[in-house]
Amino acid sequence: MTDTMVTGRMSQQKKKEGTRVLKELGLNTSQAINQLFDYLISTGEMPFQREEKRTITKKDLQRAHDFLSSMQRVNSFSHMTDADIKKCKARAMGYDIDHQDEQVA
C-alpha cells in the first residue's frame, strides 16, 4: 500500500508541546495520526467528544419534570401521618407532646 502525506495547520507552540508529549508516550506525529485514523475507521466516531451547545426545549424540560415527579421520595417521614410528623418535629424542638393533652385538660 502506498503511503500518503497528511497535512494540518496549528500554532508552532501547539506542535512543539504536542510533539513533546507524544515523545514521552513513545510516539511520533505520524504514529499518533495513524492511531487516530484507525480509531475513526473502526468506530465511526472521534475518541473524544466535541462540546456542542444544545438548546433545551420545553419538551426536554417537561420530560425531565415528569421523570423527577415519578420518582418516589423516601425520607424519615415517608411512613408517617401528618399528625405524627408534627409530633416528631415538636419533640425535636423540645416540646413534650405526649403530656400536653393532660396539661390542657
Q: Domains of the chain: which residue ranges?
A: 12-43
Nearest C-alpha neighbor of 34 from the set 10, 4, 13: 4
Count of all residues that appear for the chain in the document: 105
The three-class DSSP label of residue 98 is: coil
Q: What is the pLDDT of residue 12?
A: 95
Q: What is the pLDDT of residue 99?
A: 62
Q: Name the pTM for this structure.
A: 0.46
The amino acid sitting at 100 is Q
Tens-level pLDDT at each residue, the chain (105 residues): 788 999 999 999 999 999 999 999 999 999 999 999 999 999 888 888 777 777 888 998 999 988 888 877 777 777 888 888 888 888 888 888 766 555 554
> How far is it, in rounded angstroms, from Cα 103 to Cα 69?
43
CB count in 10 Å sphere of residue 87: 16
Report the first-to-last Cα separation within the chain, whole angstroms: 101
Q: What is the pLDDT of residue 101?
A: 53
